[in-house]
A and B are shown apart, each in its own frame.
Chain A
Amino acid sequence: MTSFYRNQGYEEDPDYPDFPNSRANLGSQNSPSYSYSRKNVDNRKSQDNAKHSNTHNYPDYPNDMNSPDYSGDQDYPDNLRFRNHQEYPGSYPNMNFSRSQNTPDYLHPRDSSHHSRSRRNPDSLDFPVTPDHSGAKDYGNFRESPDYHVGSNASSSNPKNYPDRLNSLGISDYRGVGSRNNPDFLRTRNNQSYPESLGISDYQGAEDNLVSPDNGGSAYYQGSQNNHGYSFAENPEMDRGALQRDPSFHHPHDRTSGSPGRRNQDYPESFQMTTRQPMSPYIQHPGPDPDGGYSTVSEFFQSMQVWQRTLKIIGGKFGTSVLSYFSFLTWLLKFNILSFIVNFSFITIPQLMESKPNNLSFNSLELLTGAGYFQQTVLYYGFYTNSTIMRKGISSSYNMQLAYIFTIGLYLVICFFCLLYSMACSFRNNFINPHIYSRGTAKVVFSWDFTITNEKAVKLKQRNLTTEIKETLSEIRHENVIAPLKQRMNHLGIHLGAWIVSTGVAIACCVAVYYLSFYNLKFLTDHKNQTATLLLPFIVCCINLFVPLFYSSFGLVEKFEIPRHQVFVIITRNIFLKISIIGILCYYWLNAVAISKKECWETLVGQDIYRLLMMNFVFTLFDSFCGEFLRRIIGTKLIKSLGVPEFDIARNVLELIYTQTLLWIGIFFSPLLPFIHMITLFIMFHIKKISLMMNCQPPSKAWRASQMMTLFIFLLFFPSFTGVLCVLAITVWRLKPSDNCGPFQGLPSIIHAIYGWIEILSSKPGYLWVVWIYRNLIGSVHFFFILTVIVLIITYLYWQIIEGRKIMIKLLHEQIINEGKDKVFLVEKLLKVQEAQKKPSPFSLSLERREVEVSLKS
Chain B
Amino acid sequence: MGSSTSQLSKELLSEYQELTFLTKQEILLAHKTFIELLPPESQNVVDSLTAQVSRVPTEKVLTLPELKANPFKDRICRVFSTAPEKDSLSFEDFLDLLSVFSDAATPDIKSHYAFRIFDFDDDGTLNKEDLKQLVNRLTGTEEDTQLSPSEMNQLIQNILEESDIDRDGTINLSEFQHVISRSPDFTSSFKIVL
> Whose C-beta in chain B lies nearest to the C-beta of A301?
B25
Chain A stretch 227-248: residues in CB contact (< 8 A) with chain B: 227-228, 231, 236, 239-240, 242-243, 246-247
Tell me if B58 counts as interface (CB < 8 A to partner A).
no
A441-469 near B? 1/0 per residue, CB < 8 Å: 11101111111111101110011011001
Residues of B close to A440: CB separation below 8 A? 162, 183
Residues of A close to B1: CB separation below 8 A? 298
Partner of A439, one of B17, B124, B162: B162
- Do A250 and B68 touch (CB < 8 A)? no
Give B115 Cβ to nearest chain A Cβ, in Å: 9
Give B99 Cβ to nearest chain A Cβ, in Å: 7
- Do A204 and B177 touch (CB < 8 A)? yes
Given contacts A199-B107, A206-B165, A217-B177, contact A243 B185 (CB under 8 A): no
Residues of A close to B188: CB separation below 8 A? 320, 323, 451, 705-706
Given contacts A263-B19, A450-B72, could you give 7 more A-B pairs where the C-beta distance is less than 8 Å?
A243-B123, A280-B104, A285-B103, A312-B193, A446-B114, A816-B166, A821-B166
A418-448 near B? 1/0 per residue, CB < 8 Å: 0000000010011011001111111101111
A181-207 near B? 1/0 per residue, CB < 8 Å: 000000000000100110100111110
Tell me if B70 counts as interface (CB < 8 A to partner A).
yes
Residues of B close to A205: CB separation below 8 A? 173-178, 181
- Do B174 and A288 touch (CB < 8 A)? no
Chain B stretch 97-145: residues in CB contact (< 8 A) with chain A: 99, 101, 103-104, 106-109, 112, 114, 116, 118, 122-125, 131, 134-135, 138-140, 142, 144-145
- Do A197 and B107 touch (CB < 8 A)? yes
Q: List 12 A-B contacts (CB under 8 A).
A: A193-B106, A208-B174, A250-B112, A274-B18, A315-B191, A438-B162, A446-B180, A462-B138, A466-B147, A470-B151, A817-B165, A819-B166
> Whose C-beta in chain A lies nearest to the C-beta of B116?
A247
Given contacts A257-B51, A286-B23, A446-B179, contact A218 B168 (CB under 8 A): no
A698-731 near B? 1/0 per residue, CB < 8 Å: 0000001111000000000000000000000000
Point out which of A246, A273, A298, A315 has the most chain B C-beta atoms below 10 A from its C-beta.
Answer: A273
- Do B155 and A273 touch (CB < 8 A)? no
Residues of B close to A315: CB separation below 8 A? 191
Partner of B159, one of A236, A246, A284, A445: A445
- Do B158 and A439 touch (CB < 8 A)? yes
> Whose C-beta in chain A lies nearest to the C-beta of B125?
A224
Tell me if B59 counts as interface (CB < 8 A to partner A).
no
B39-83 near A? 1/0 per residue, CB < 8 Å: 000000000000110000000000001111111100000000010
Residues of A close to B52: CB separation below 8 A? 258
Residues of B close to A272: CB separation below 8 A? 106, 109
Residues of B close to A476: CB separation below 8 A? 154, 158
Tell me if A170 counts as interface (CB < 8 A to partner B).
no
Give B77 Cβ to nearest chain A Cβ, in Å: 14
Give A134 Cβ to nearest chain B Cβ, in Å: 28
Tell me if B87 counts as interface (CB < 8 A to partner A).
no
Q: How far is the CA of A216 from the CA of B112 in the complex (A)?
A: 10
Tell me if A225 counts as interface (CB < 8 A to partner B).
yes
Interface of B (DSSP majority class):
helix
Residues of A close to B170: CB separation below 8 A? 228
Given contacts A202-B182, A820-B167, contact A218 B174 (CB under 8 A): yes
Give B32 Cβ to nearest chain A Cβ, in Å: 15
Q: How far is the CA of A240 from the CA of B109 in the complex (A)?
A: 20
Residues of A close to B106: CB separation below 8 A? 193, 196-197, 272, 276
Given contacts A253-B92, A453-B65, contact A441 B155 (CB under 8 A): yes
Point out which of A205, A220, A270 has the most chain B C-beta atoms below 10 A from its C-beta.
Answer: A205
Tell me if A813 counts as interface (CB < 8 A to partner B).
yes
Q: How far is the CA of A816 from the CA of B168 in the complex (A)?
A: 11
Tell me if B20 counts as interface (CB < 8 A to partner A).
yes
Q: How far is the CA of A319 from the CA of B185 in the complex (A)?
A: 11
> Whose C-beta in chain B lies nearest to the C-beta of A456?
B69
Give B113 Cβ to nearest chain A Cβ, in Å: 8
Give A170 Cβ to nearest chain B Cβ, in Å: 14
Tell me if B149 counts as interface (CB < 8 A to partner A).
no
Q: Give residues in B with beta carbon < 8 Å to A.
A: 1-2, 10, 14-15, 17-21, 23-25, 51-52, 65-72, 82, 90, 92, 96, 99, 101, 103-104, 106-109, 112, 114, 116, 118, 122-125, 131, 134-135, 138-140, 142, 144-147, 151, 154-155, 158-159, 162-163, 165-168, 170, 172-186, 188-193
Partner of A446, one of B10, B118, B124: B118
Tell me if A666 counts as interface (CB < 8 A to partner B).
no
Q: Give residues in A with beta carbon < 8 Å to B.
A: 193, 196-197, 199, 202-206, 208-209, 216-218, 220-221, 223-225, 227-228, 231, 236, 239-240, 242-243, 246-247, 250-251, 253-254, 257-258, 260, 263-264, 267, 269-270, 272-274, 276, 280, 282, 284-286, 288, 291, 298, 301, 308, 312, 315, 319-320, 323, 426, 429-430, 432-433, 436-443, 445-455, 457-459, 462-463, 465-466, 469-470, 472-473, 476-477, 704-707, 813, 816-817, 819-821, 823-824
- Do A821 and B108 touch (CB < 8 A)? no
- Do B181 and A432 touch (CB < 8 A)? yes
Partner of A282, one of B20, B69, B104, B176: B104
Give B61 Cβ to nearest chain A Cβ, in Å: 14
Q: How far is the CA of A122 from the CA of B35 in the complex (A)?
A: 50
Q: How far is the CA of A236 from the CA of B107 in the complex (A)?
A: 30
Give B11 Cβ to nearest chain A Cβ, in Å: 10
Given contacts A254-B82, A816-B166, contact A454 B182 (CB under 8 A): no
Partner of A452, one of B15, B69, B159, B184: B69
Q: How far is the CA of A52 from the CA of B35 in the complex (A)?
A: 64
Partner of B23, one of A270, A284, A820: A284
- Do A448 and B184 touch (CB < 8 A)? no
Q: How far is the CA of A426 from the CA of B179 in the complex (A)?
A: 17
Give A472 Cβ to nearest chain B Cβ, in Å: 8
Given contacts A269-B99, A441-B159, contact A448 B189 (CB under 8 A): yes
Q: How far is the CA of A301 from the CA of B1 in the complex (A)?
A: 11
Point out which of A239, A240, A451, A823 has the most chain B C-beta atoms below 10 A from its C-beta.
Answer: A451
- Do A193 and B123 touch (CB < 8 A)? no
Give A220 Cβ to nearest chain B Cβ, in Å: 5
- Do A820 and B166 touch (CB < 8 A)? yes
- Do A465 and B139 touch (CB < 8 A)? yes
- Do B178 and A206 touch (CB < 8 A)? yes
Q: How far is the CA of A203 from the CA of B165 in the complex (A)?
A: 11
Q: How far is the CA of A713 from the CA of B53 in the complex (A)?
A: 52
Residues of B close to A813: CB separation below 8 A? 165
Point out which of A223, A242, A247 has the most chain B C-beta atoms below 10 A from its C-beta.
Answer: A247
> Whose C-beta in chain A lies nearest to the C-beta of B141?
A462
Residues of B close to A282: CB separation below 8 A? 103-104
Residues of A close to B135: CB separation below 8 A? 445, 469
- Do A227 and B165 touch (CB < 8 A)? no
Given contacts A218-B174, A446-B114, contact A823 B168 (CB under 8 A): yes
Complex A-B, nearest 5 residue pairs according to Cβ-Cβ distance, in ascending order = A820-B166, A197-B106, A224-B124, A205-B177, A462-B140
Residues of B close to A821: CB separation below 8 A? 166-167
- Do B168 and A273 touch (CB < 8 A)? no
Residues of B close to A470: CB separation below 8 A? 147, 151
- Do A251 and B70 touch (CB < 8 A)? no
- Do B145 and A462 touch (CB < 8 A)? yes
- Do A217 and B112 touch (CB < 8 A)? yes
- Do B174 and A221 touch (CB < 8 A)? yes
- Do B189 and A445 touch (CB < 8 A)? no
Residues of A close to B192: CB separation below 8 A? 450-451, 453
> Whose C-beta in chain A lies nearest to the C-beta of B66?
A453
Point out which of B118, B122, B124, B159 has the most chain A C-beta atoms below 10 A from its C-beta.
Answer: B124
Q: How far is the CA of A269 from the CA of B16 in the complex (A)?
A: 11
Given contacts A224-B124, A816-B165, contact A446 B183 (CB under 8 A): yes
Given contacts A270-B18, A320-B189, A466-B139, contact A203 B178 (CB under 8 A): yes
Q: How far is the CA of A442 from the CA of B159 in the complex (A)?
A: 5
Q: How far is the CA of A705 from the CA of B181 in the complex (A)?
A: 15
